Amino acid sequence: MSAPLLEIRDLHLWMRSFEGEAHVLQGVDLQVGHGEVWGVVGETGCGKSLTGLSVSRLVPSPPARYGRGQILFNGQDLLQMSEAQMRQLRGGRIGMIFQDPTTNLNPLFRISEQLVDVALAAAAWRPELLGVPAGASAREKRRAARALSLEMLERVRIPDAAQRLDDFPHQFSGGMRQRVLIAMALIGRPQLLIADEPTTALDVSVQAQVLALLRDMVRDFRMTVLLITHNLGVVAQACSHVAVMYAGSIVERGPVQEVMRRPTHPYTRALLAAIPRREMARGALEGIPGTVPDLIHPPPGCRFAPRCARAQEGCRAQVPALEPVPSALAAGAGHEVACFHAHPVEAAC
């Protein structure tokens, strides 16, 4: 198979704070192939959003500082690019959707204006998007951008899109606003879509619609997606692969069936055990004892060791690297785990 579309190699990120410099990404490694939908899961503060933001280079630095590491997109290192080059990629090759659709739309402008702006900006680098001849006037371009905006709104299944095009954001419901943002992210026909908690602010029924929509868009546009979420149910529904993050590094990754059915890292298993399931007796739910480690003074060795029931002496001395799960335990290829004492037990699902 060809080279992956996105490859994050040993990415380290430090974040300055009052108490000191926190090592928030501690060697993130991820290869995302064309057409794959990767779920990045983890709890608050594990670095999943910063991983996504790093790919679009939206982490403000300072206070952030990149150490080692590369982010290769189509073979080019994004960390070495100039801001001008990044602006070409954002909204063009790399699309983004964020959690809260309300704060990401400007309340003072009609959505048509906001969509047209994005379309024109994307078309500035790739004129073929609008489908107008090279020497077209600004007015013609604008008309074409408007037509494209309407087409995208129809693609994301906004009812009566032609009438809604000139509405203001407040006239849309939460789910509809998220659709507008998806349309906006897809208008530049991105190869890679970064969706950071796209359904967290939505009700379950709306969430199901938005996830179904994303799935169709992935198929129609042959897109690759990095879906950042804390909801393992969403990952199970929408993703082909999953990477579980804990305290700034990936502790387990692989095809979604493989990881969910045969979770190998103690953290992944604890995370799955913490979700209430049907037929579970009250009081039987298992939380994870302890708290997330302090990233300013991280514990030595495996970051999860202080909370892990399986931890032994060796765990506190050395940081385990991501290695393929022993073939005796894994049914499929590509399942990797960073643990010295990995042995899976069939998950209850």
Partner 1 sequence: MLTIEGVHKTYPGQRRGWRRSAPVQALQDVSLEITRGESFGLVGESGSGKSTLARCILQLEPVSPGRIVFEGEDLARLSPAAMRHARARIQMVFQDPQASLNPRMSVHDIVTEPLVIHREVMGLDARQRTERALELLQLVGLGEQHLFRKPHEFSGGQRQRIGIARALATSPTMLLLDEPTSALDVSVQAQVLNLLHELQQRLSLTYLFISHDLAVIRYMCDRVALIHHGQIVEQGDCQQVFDAPQSDYARQLLAAVPSLEGIGAAGSDGQRTPT
Asked if 203 touches partner 1 (CB under 8 A), the answer is yes
**Contacts (CB under 8 A) with partner 1, residues 39-58:** 43-44
Interaction between residue 174 and partner 1 (CB under 8 A): yes
Residue type, 286: E
Site for partner 1 in 262-301 (CB under 8 A): 270-278, 280, 282-283, 285-288, 291
152 or 211: whose CB is closer to partner 1?
211
74 binds partner 1 (CB under 8 A): no
Closer Cβ to partner 1, 146 or 269, answer by number: 269
324 and 258 Cβ atoms separated by less than 8 Å: no
Asked if 325 interacts with partner 1 (CB under 8 A), we say no
Closest to partner 1 by CB, 128 vs 279, is 279
Token match 């298992």: residue?
286
- CB-based contacts of 2: which residues, under 8 Å, 6+ apart? 34
Q: What's the distance, Cα to Cα, between the start and end of the chain in Å?
A: 32
User: What is the rounded distance in angstroms from the CA atom of residue 24 to the CA atom of residue 85?
Assistant: 26
Instruction: Count the Cβ atoms, other than its own, within 10 Å of residue 302.
Output: 27
Please report how close the Cβ of residue 318 comes to partner 1 at its closest, in angstroms. Answer: 25
Structure tokens at 163: 């009438």
In the complex with partner 1, which residue's Cβ is closer, 139 or 278? Answer: 278
75: left (phi over 0), alpha (psi -120 to 50) or beta: left
d(CA 64, CA 340): 31
Give the binding site for partner 1 (CB under 8 A): 1, 4, 31, 33, 35-37, 43-44, 174, 203-208, 211, 215, 218-219, 230-234, 236-240, 255-257, 260-261, 270-278, 280, 282-283, 285-288, 291, 332-334, 349
